[in-house]
């Protein structure tokens, strides 16, 4: 891991500042402590909020060209250090190195999308040439709402932060980013790139702090938008204390796939095995439930278990590893308890169900069947390398099984039956329907977000900019 990009300090008002309190960050496979970072104090938090609030009138008047230039500067700077960032992501988040490199590449694409979107984003003309509006012209302009607080998760410590930072820069809204305690180093390292751009000092600030101080920022009236990615329990709580600010929540789920008899079973099984166990299942749209039409269930099960057996587990720096460390010791024991509890309730383990390496926090790729509502592995977000495989009598039953979840982020259907695809499009209660690919499919410019307990609002491209702005109506007449 390249130590030169590490930062142990918080980035406040364009400068790196330290504090008396510190927080340890560990390499997830070896358990080695790799950094000791500052925990921003209450006084430093107040300074960051004040500077963001004072910067807003200046930053919102930056031209779209100037804001796009800043995003291009970040792209150029990140491109030069892409491997160093991939190594850091792998170390602190336990992410397989091949997938960490993919995250950095996605971050670069995300920045390029941001450049294009910044230059083309606009309001729209409003039809008004009737009744009292005859002879008048009307249109809207989009204006930033104000200071944004972005709270980011451990599993994509760079790119999910950029899904908050990019739209903020694009519209001229100052943003304070708070990374997750398990993996804060990547975002603090990115602050070194921020310091080299033409951003005004208070426009983007990155700080790690306590839950108590984070809660105070959520409640602060100077913050106009809360953009949170994390667990639904924390997200809904933060919304409840956020006051009148706009709240955007991306909170994961237990993503499902429905497989019908017209699907290419080998291709489907290969995709779903990878989509279930990649990054130890620690992805908001990791496949967790698979419903297969009864007539092909046994054949699919056999092929799926073959593909699962090919999933390599181990050190995240092995380029062939797909399933590496979970984020903490607590989490491998949590999911092991969930699996054992499900077995006691009648579920069967088809493969896995064991802790492979408790010191490196690695859990075996696990497939369960005979699961049902009321079991944690079925109802809750596992965020682990565990998937349930169940038979259904019909495609419609499969759709109903998907919908009985309290979550609704993304789901997929594997089918070459046009009628079934249309049914899925119409009836699935999710934010995104993916056809013939895993629920975890994502391109960073697409509208991404969920319904029900999966959250509210959308990330990606101009859709995120809509959530960071409000329309102002302009009516022109003689």
Q: Would you please indicate which residues are annotated as catalytic (active-site) residues?
A: 250, 284
- Cα 221 to Cα 245: distance, rounded to the nearest angstrom: 8
Helix (H) or strand (E) run with residue 140 in it: strand 137-144
Contact 107, 162 (CB under 8 A): yes
Contact 398, 392 (CB under 8 A): yes
Helix, coil or strand: residue 369: strand
Contact 88, 191 (CB under 8 A): no
Q: Which two tokens stand for residue 393?
A: 């009598």
For residue 477, count other CB atoms closer than 10 A to its CB.
10
Dihedral of CA 71/76/79/84: which sign?
Answer: negative
Dihedral of CA 162/164/167/171: which sign?
Answer: negative
Dihedral of CA 334/336/339/344: which sign?
Answer: negative
Helix crossing, 159-171 with 97-120: angle to 10°? 10
255, 274, 277, 385: which is closest to 332 by C-alpha? 385
- Cβ neighbours of residue 392 closer than 8 Å, sequence gap 6 or more: 258, 291, 292, 293, 294, 398, 401
Q: To which residue do tokens 């269930």 refer?
A: 297
- Cα 82 to Cα 68: distance, rounded to the nearest angstrom: 20
Residue 201 — left, alpha, or beta (φ > 0 → left; ψ -120 to 50 → alpha)? alpha
Residue 478's Cβ-count burial label (10 Å; 0-12, 13-18, 19+) is exposed
- Cβ neighbours of residue 343 closer than 8 Å, sequence gap 6 or more: 349, 353
Contact 346, 370 (CB under 8 A): yes
Our measurement of the distance from residue 173's CA atom to the centroid of its chain's CA atoms, rounded to an integer in Å, reads 21
- Cα–Cα distances in angstroms (integers) from residue 289 to residues 162, 240, 364, in the given order: 29, 30, 17
Helix, coil or strand: residue 298: helix
- Cβ neighbours of residue 18 closer than 8 Å, sequence gap 6 or more: 8, 9, 10, 38
């Amino acid at each position: 891991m390249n130590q030169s990009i590490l930062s142990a300090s918080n980035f406040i008002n364009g400068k790196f500042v330290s504090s008396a309190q510190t927080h340890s960050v560990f390499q997830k496979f070896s358990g080695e402590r790799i950094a000791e970072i500052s925990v921003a104090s209450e006084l430093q938090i107040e300074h960051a909020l004040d500077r963001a609030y004072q910067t807003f009138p200046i930053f919102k008047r930056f031209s779209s060209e100037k804001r796009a230039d800043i995003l291009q500067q970040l792209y150029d700077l990140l491109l030069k250090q892409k491997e160093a960032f991939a190594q850091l992501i792998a170390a602190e988040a336990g992410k397989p190195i091949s997938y960490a490199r993919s995250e950095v590449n996605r971050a670069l694409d995300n920045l390029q999308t941001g450049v294009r979107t910044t230059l083309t984003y606009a309001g729209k003309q409003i039809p008004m040439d009737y009744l009292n509006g005859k002879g008048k012209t009307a249109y809207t302009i989009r204006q930033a709402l104000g200071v944004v607080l972005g709270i980011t998760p451990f599993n994509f410590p760079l790119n999910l932060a950029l899904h908050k930072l990019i739209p903020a820069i694009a519209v001229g809204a100052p943003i304070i980013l708070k990374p997750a305690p398990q993996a804060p180093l990547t975002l603090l390292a990115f602050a070194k790139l921020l310091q080299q751009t033409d951003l005004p000092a208070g426009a983007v600030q990155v700080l790690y702090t306590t839950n108590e101080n984070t809660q105070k920022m959520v409640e602060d009236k100077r913050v106009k938008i809360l953009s949170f990615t994390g667990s639904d329990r924390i997200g809904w709580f933060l919304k409840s204390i956020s006051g009148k600010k706009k709240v955007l929540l991306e909170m994961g789920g237990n993503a499902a796939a429905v497989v019908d008899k017209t699907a290419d079973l080998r291709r489907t099984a290969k995709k779903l095995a990878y989509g279930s166990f990649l990054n130890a299942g620690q992805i908001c749209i990791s496949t967790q439930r698979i419903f297969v039409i009864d007539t092909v269930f046994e054949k699919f099960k056999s092929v799926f278990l073959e593909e699962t057996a090919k999933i390599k587990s181990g050190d995240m720096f092995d380029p062939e590893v797909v399933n590496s460390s979970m984020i903490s010791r607590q989490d491998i024991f949590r999911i092991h308890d969930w699996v054992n509890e499900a077995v006691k309730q009648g579920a069967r383990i088809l493969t896995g169900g064991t802790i492979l390496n408790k010191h490196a926090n690695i859990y075996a790729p696990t497939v369960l069947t005979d699961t049902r509502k009321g079991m944690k592995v079925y109802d809750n977000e596992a965020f682990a390398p565990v998937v349930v495989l169940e038979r259904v009598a019909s495609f419609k039953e499969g759709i109903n099984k998907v919908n009985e979840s309290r979550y609704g982020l993304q789901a997929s259907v594997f089918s070459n039956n046009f009628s079934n695809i249309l049914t899925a499009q119409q009836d699935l209660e999710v934010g995104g329907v993916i056809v013939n690919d895993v629920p975890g499919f994502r391109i960073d410019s697409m509208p991404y977000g969920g319904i029900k307990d999966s959250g509210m609002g959308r990330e990606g491209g101009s859709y995120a900019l809509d959530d960071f702005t409000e329309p102002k109506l302009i009516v022109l007449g003689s």
